[in-house]
Amino acid sequence: MALLVPHPTQLLFFTGKGGVGKTSAACSTAIALADAGKRVLLVSTDPASNLDEVLGTELSGEPQSVSGVPGLRALNIDPEETARAYREGIIAPVRGLLPEAVVASMEEQLSGACTTEIAAFDVFSRLLGDPARTADFDHILFDTAPTGHTLRLLELPAAWSTFIETNVGGNSCLGPLSGLSAQRGLYEAAQAALRDTGRTTLVLVARPDDASLREAERTRIELAHLGLRQVHLILNGLFRAMGSSDLIAAELQAREAQALDHLPEGLRELPRTTVPLLPYGLVGLGALRSMGGEKGSPRIEAAGEAVDPSRFDTLEALADRLVAQGKGVVMTMGKGGVGKTTLAARLALRLAGAGFPVTLTTTDPAAHVEAAAPVRPPTLRVTRIDPERVTERYRAEVLAAAAPDLDAPGRALLEEDLRSPCTEEIAVFRAFAETVAQGREGFVIIDTAPTGHTLLLLDAAEAYHREVLRQSSDAPEAVRQLLPRLRDAAFTRILLVTLPEATPIHEAMQLEGDLARAGIRPFAWVVNQSLTPLAVTDPVLKARRAQEARFLNELLRHTSSIVLEPLACVPADPVLSPGVHP
C-alpha cells in the first residue's frame, strides 16, 4: 500500500476546505504507516469528527486500538468532555471553600465556547509539546477541522502565550491566570514543534475544482505567514471519463481539467499526490487501503432499491415557500464541503430577485460568500462577520463605557484583559445576534460554519442567554432575544445541507438531534450534488449513483421535507439553476 505522503515526518496535519477528503486521506495514511510496522496515533481535532464511522471503531478522548490495524490507535478530542474536565480542574480546588453562589458564578463564566476552545487546545498542545504523551508513537497524524478553524487552532499557541506574557492581572475569562501561566512552556513547545520542518508536515487536501484550489492556496499563504512551510498537496477525487458517450462525464472531466490548468503557482510548486475518484465511498478499512493504491477493490455493499427522484422537492419549490413568508432568518447548516455557501447564495439571489431586502452573510472563517454571488441585484447586501473588525468595535465600546469610572491603572488592566482571545468570542457572538435581529425587517441568509463549530456557537447562545436572564444585566436586546428567535420556527428556518453519502447524512442526523435538544427544528433538508436524477453511463459515475440509493432511502424513511439537487457539472446559473439536466 503506497503512502499518500511519501516522506512522512513525525507530525502530519491534514487540512483543507470542508468535504475534500481530509479524514479519508488521514486514515489511509495512518493505516499505511501502521501496515508498514510503524506505531501510529491518529487524532481528530474536529468538533464534528467522523473518525468512528470511517474506521469502524468506537473512539473516545483516549487512544483506542483500531480493529484490523495492529499498530494504529486513534482518539477524538471531544470538545464537551475536555471543557468539562477543564472547568472541574479550575473549580474543584475552591468547591467547599467559597460560597455556593460564587462557585455557581464561576461555572457559568466558564460555560462559553471560549472555554471549550482553550480546553481542546490544551489537549492538542500536550500532544505537540509534551514528549511523554507521544513517546510510544513513531507518527502522530491530526485530522483537523476545516481550514478556517484549523488556522485558528494553529494560531492559538502564539495568541495565548502573548496574552499570558502581557497580562499583569490575576484573572481572565478562563479563570485564574496562574493556571494558564503554568502552561506557557507547553504552548511554546507546541509552537516550536509546528515550525520544525524536520518534525512537522502540513498536508493540504483539495479537490480538483476552482473553489477548493483557491481555498488551498489561501491556506498555504496563511500557513507560511505562521512559519509553517513544510507542505504537501493531495489532489483527491480526480475523475477520468471512460469513453466519450456520457456527456455528464465529459463535462465533469473538462471542468476539472480547466481548474488544474489554472492551478495557483504556489500550489504548483508543492510536492503532490493525486488520488483518482473511486466508484465507492471511503468508509471502512478496505476502501481506505484502496485510496492508497492497494490493488483490488473493497467489498461494496448492495445499493438498495432504486429511488424515484420525483419523491423529492425542488429548490424552486423551497424558495417559493420562503417567499411566502416575506422575511426572517434562513440558516444553512451541515458538514463542511456539502455546498452550504453556494446554496445560501442561490437562495439569497432568488429572494432578492423577488424584490425583498436580503442580507447574505457567513459565520465561517473560511467561507467567501462574495465569490458565490459576484453579480447581485440592488436589494441584496453581502457581508461577513469579520472577527478582527467586530472585536475592535467591541473593545472600543467596552472601553468607552467604562472610561468614566476608571483611573489609569484600571484602564490599563481592562485593556490587557480585552486582548484575551476570549474577547473575540464575545464580539463574534454579539455580531451574530445583531445579524439575526435583522430578520425582523427582511431576509437574512446565514451561511454557517461547519457542524461542530455551529453547535459551539449555539451552545454559547444558550450559555449567554442563561447568564442574561440570571443577571438581568444591560445586555443588548439582540443578545437577549437571540435564543428565542432561533427557536421560533416562524422566524428562523434551518436548512440541513448534506450529500448523498453515509457520513454527511449521518452527521446531519446527529446535528438534527443536537438542535432538537436546544429547542430548534429544521425547516427542510437539502441533498446536494446527487447523481440520482441524472442519466449517466460512465462506470464510475454509475457505481456512485447506485450507492446513493441506500442513503437516500434511509433519509426518506427519516424525514419528508427533502430537496434533491443534481450534480452541477457546469457552472450553475446564479439563480437556482442546479447545473446539467440531460
The set of catalytic residues is 19, 21-24, 46, 503
Amino acid code (one letter) for 207: R
H-assigned helices in 36-146: 51-55, 79-91, 100-109, 113-129, 131-134
Q: Going by DSSP bridges, is the β-strand pair 139-143/40-44 parallel, antiparallel, or unpaired?
A: parallel
Buried b (16+ CB within 10 A) or exposed e, 224-256: eebebebbbbbbbbebebeeeebbbbebbbebb
Residue with cell 427544528: 521
> Taking a C-beta distance cutoff of 8 angstroms, is the pair 349, 326 a contact?
no
- Cα separation of 398 and 390, whole Å? 12
> Taking a C-beta distance cutoff of 8 angstroms, is the pair 281, 547 a contact?
yes
For residue 446, give the H/E element and its range. Answer: strand 443-447
For 499, residues 6+ apart whose C-beta sits below 8 A from its C-beta are 19, 335, 337, 338, 339, 505, 527, 528, 529, 530
> Taking a C-beta distance cutoff of 8 angstroms, is the pair 539, 225 a contact?
no
- SS3 call for 462: helix
- Cα separation of 290 and 297, whole Å? 7
- Cα separation of 233 and 164, whole Å? 35
Long-range contacts of range 110-113, CB-CB < 8 Å, 24 or more positions apart? Answer: 110/86, 110/174, 110/175, 111/87, 111/463, 111/466, 112/173, 112/422, 112/425, 112/426, 112/460, 112/463, 112/464, 113/425, 113/429, 113/456, 113/457, 113/459, 113/460, 113/463
For 206, residues 6+ apart whose C-beta sits below 8 A from its C-beta are 16, 17, 20, 212, 213, 215, 216, 233, 234, 235, 236, 267
- Cα separation of 550 and 500, whole Å? 9
- Cα separation of 554 and 304, whole Å? 10
Residue 44 has which C-alpha cell?
481528530
The neighbouring-strand residues paired with 522 are 494
Residue 418 has which C-alpha cell?
480585552
Chain centroid to CA 479: 24
Distance (Å) of CA 384 to CA 18, 114, 213, 364, 447:
18, 21, 21, 9, 9
Of 564, 561, 538, nearest in space to 549 by CA: 564
For 225, residues 6+ apart whose C-beta sits below 8 A from its C-beta are none
